Structure 1
Amino acid sequence: MHPTKLLKGTKSKLLEGKKILVAVTSSIAAIESPKLMRELIRHGAEVYCIVTEEVKKIIGKDALKFGCGNDVYEEITGDIEHIFLYNECDCLLIYPATANIISKINLGIADNIVNTTFLMFFGNKPVFIVPAMHENMLKSIERHIDELKNKDNVYIVSPRFEEGKAKVASVEEIVGFIIEKIGNDLKRERNRVLILNGGTVEFIDKVRVITNLSSGKMGVALAEAFCKEGFYVEVITAMGLEPPYYIKNHRVLTAKEMLNKAIELAKDFDIIISSAAISDFTVESFEGKLSSEEEPILKLKRNPKVLEELRKAYKDKIIIGFKAEYNLNEEDLINKAKERLNKYNLNMIIANDLSKHYFGDDYTEVYIITKDDVEKVSGSKKEVAEKIVEKVVGLVKS
């Protein structure tokens, strides 16, 4: 087995079972193609590669084989590669697509393995075209691009314009687009997870806020770990780190917005996890902008408890909370967490002491608490998130 295969599904199962043919043509952007192919593999895809003859002046076949983990084809032989690859693969991705190849495929010219294979896919299976060339050249072939984008199952991934050049879209943008068009619809599967993440803010006036220092790292680590295990994941993020491009994210600011969005979305999810640092208090805010010469007195009032409201609204869902305290001994920390677990009828709660690992730390020490068990776990947030996911899987199966 080629070592590249070990990457398969290490980020998600969104492309599991999909076979993608990457056609590399002779733009300098071809040097990014191994990175692109490996990113597709990380989401579960099997990747094949074909190249035009000129590509070998820019990047070697060994580098491309390193990227996809399969043999790289550069010509059509008695093995009729264009037919074999069409039958084998779910879609064709031309990356990068030069002015020459775009013009030829639109005119139906078949004089190399790439445009010949395109004709097999054209009108039958999805084709993704990622242009890369000088801006002047792009304008010159605009007719071909416009005609292609109006064809069924042909998608043009728009370039980014820099320094007078139409540069290929980012690897993340391309992979995200392919996931959107042909990825596995995990929304239809059970075990859908909604994660509340980051630190909420409360407005003092129209420009000033009260907030906290939550980094959002734990919620993102959880989102990635659940996605890797094949769960469908969405995140509601206030302030702090956002999830990676392949996980849907909803932006909010205040605790009220967080609660409203969670209540709205949770009906479509089986598991709700609140790792967010949600403001306990809101401010009776001032209109406009306070003068810096004033010494205002802020009047605070309590926000609704998000976990409590979620449990009222969704009595049968798995709901998991976090409880952060500061400088408590182990017994008191666990007892406080259990109080919240029982008060809101949670399925699980994760407790931590911020005096040991403060907001933003890459490492943490937590207690994973259910009604029947307490387990202490420490390590990087990635490692701890993976352990939490393992525990949640146990809950789902029980």
Structure 2
Amino acid sequence: MHPTKFLKGTKSKLLENKKILVAVTSSIAAIETPKLMRELIRHGAEVYCIITKETKKIIGKDALKFGCGNEVYEEITGDIEHIKLYNECDCLLIYPATANVISKINLGLGDNIVTTTSLMFKGGNKPIIIVPAMHENMYNAIKKHIDELKMNKNIYIVSPKFEEGKAKVANIEDVVNYTIKIVGNNLKKERNRVLILNGGTVEFIDKVRVISNLSSGKMGVSLAEAFCREGFYVEVISGIGLEPPYYIKTHKVLTAKEMLNKAIELGKDFDIIISSAAISDFTVESYNGKLSSDKDLTIRLKRNPKVLEELRKIYKDKIIIGFKAEYNLDEESLIKKAKEKLNKYNLNMIIANDLSKYYFGDDNIEVYIITNSYIEKLSGTKKEVAEKIVEKVKNMVKR
């Protein structure tokens, strides 16, 4: 079995059962293509590859075969590869696309396997995603062709990065994300939608200063990634700290109020709401401008609304899961406090941990998963614990 098969779906199922044909042309950016193909595979895609003969001056066929795990085609034979690949594949991704190839596709010229296969996709209305890479002068010279191609309903151009006088190929993550948007699976269906609140929040002392906490956001990101690997649709409301990867839709907030308001706004479209965020319990009475640092300052705090309590009031039938972090408590006291929160806010599950054992930002964690019917202790890396939590949630959902 080719090593790529072990990569399939290790990040998400967003491209599961999708067949993507990657066409490589003779730009120096072609050396990045194996990385691109591997990233597509990590989201579940089966990847095939065609190249122009000139491409072999930049990157060898073996390197491209290593990247996709399938045969690499460089010419049309009696197997009529351009028709076979069109029939089998869901999308043509030209990465990188030279000025020559882009111009020929627009003019309807097919003189090699890449341009001829492109005409099959263009005429058949299957998606073509074109990722240009060339000198900026050349890009300007073929701008007319690019603009005309954009007018086709099935052709998409990923804008290059204009740097150092060049139209450089777009980032691999941007290209993969674009591909997911065009041909990816719609995972946002009932009983499959997860909203995660993550990271720390801040409260403004004045227009410059804030009070906050040291939440790293690692646990919430690990949960988001684990749910994605299991085929859930995931969005994250993210405060400060580590942000989720590019393929997870993220809503940035700062304060506890912003996080609550965003959770209320989005919550109606989700089945499961998980708050792993370290949300400020107190906010500061309003101060204008910038307070003077010339003298001691007394700050008056007032309580913030409890996010889980407010969410449960509005969303009575959704699965809501909370976290309870304490410091230096014995096991019995930690579980007791977590159970009190579980029952007070009518949560479906609560996950409790003691920060004196593993502090904010640590890669490892020890938690207690608590529901009304069981208590289970878990320990390991945050990624390992997140995977076990997802398994528990899957049993609750029973999709």
CA distance in 2, matches of 1:366, 1:58: 51
CA distance in 1, matches of 2:145, 2:325: 58
Match of residue 116 from structure 1: 116
TM-score w.r.t. the length of structure 2 is 0.98
State the secondary structure of the residue aligned to 1:122: helix
Q: How does 1:339-354 map to 2 (within 5 A)?
A: 339-354=340-355
Match of residue 200 from structure 2: 199
CA distance in 2, matches of 1:247, 1:180: 12
Q: Which runs of 4+ in 1 moved over 3 A?
A: none
Match of 2:95, as an amino acid?
A: Y
Match of 1:198, as an amino acid?
A: G
- 1:296 Cα offset (Å): 2.1
State the secondary structure of the residue aligned to 2:31: helix
CA distance in 2, matches of 1:190, 1:120: 39
Match of residue 151 from structure 1: 152
CA distance in 2, matches of 1:108, 1:71: 27
Match of 1:21, as an amino acid?
A: L
- Cα deviation 1:117-171 (Å, max 9, x = unaligned): 0000004100000000111111111111111111121000000012211111001
- 1:189 Cα offset (Å): 4.3
Match of 1:76, as an amino acid?
A: I
CA contact (8 A) 2:128 2:155 kept: yes
CA distance in 1, matches of 2:152, 2:233: 31
Match of residue 47 from structure 2: 47
Q: How does 1:267-278 map to 2 (within 5 A)?
A: 267-278=268-279
CA contact (8 A) 1:189 1:232 kept: no
Match of residue 374 from structure 2: 373
- Cα deviation 1:321-360 (Å, max 9, x = unaligned): 0000001111111111111111111111111110111101
- Cα deviation 1:97-125 (Å, max 9, x = unaligned): 01111111111111100000000000410
Match of residue 191 from structure 2: 190
Match of residue 107 from structure 2: 107
Match of 1:233, as an amino acid?
A: V
- 1:295 Cα offset (Å): 2.0
- 1:188 Cα offset (Å): 2.6
- 1:24 Cα offset (Å): 0.2
Match of 1:151, as an amino acid?
A: N
- 1:302 Cα offset (Å): 0.5
Match of 2:397, as an amino acid?
A: V
CA distance in 2, matches of 1:213, 1:8: 35
Match of residue 65 from structure 1: 65
Match of residue 295 from structure 1: 296
- 1:94 Cα offset (Å): 0.4
Match of 1:122, as an amino acid?
A: K
Give yes or no for the alignment of 1:80 onto 2:80. Answer: yes
Structure 1 unpaired stretches of 5+ = none
Of the structure 1 ranges 182-191 and 319-328, higher mean CA displacement relative to structure 2 is found in 182-191
CA contact (8 A) 2:190 2:271 kept: no
CA distance in 2, matches of 1:102, 1:264: 43
Match of 2:174, as an amino acid?
A: E
Match of 1:30, as an amino acid?
A: A
Give yes or no for the alignment of 1:171 onto 2:186. Answer: no
Match of residue 397 from structure 1: 398
State the secondary structure of the residue aligned to 2:188: helix
Alignment coverage as a number of residue pairs: 398
Structure 2 unpaired stretches of 5+ = none
- Cα deviation 1:197-240 (Å, max 9, x = unaligned): 01011111011111000011100000000011000000001111
CA distance in 2, matches of 1:191, 1:87: 31
Match of residue 263 from structure 1: 264
Match of 1:84, as an amino acid?
A: K
Match of 2:231, as an amino acid?
A: G
CA distance in 1, matches of 2:352, 2:247: 29
Give yes or no for the alignment of 1:325 onto 2:329. Answer: no
CA distance in 1, matches of 2:280, 2:29: 46
Match of 1:329, as an amino acid?
A: D
CA distance in 1, matches of 2:36, 2:115: 20
Match of residue 235 from structure 2: 234
CA distance in 2, matches of 1:239, 1:2: 40
CA contact (8 A) 2:191 2:397 kept: no
TM-score w.r.t. the length of structure 1 is 0.98
Superposed CA RMSD: 1.0
Q: Percent identity?
A: 81
Match of residue 10 from structure 1: 10
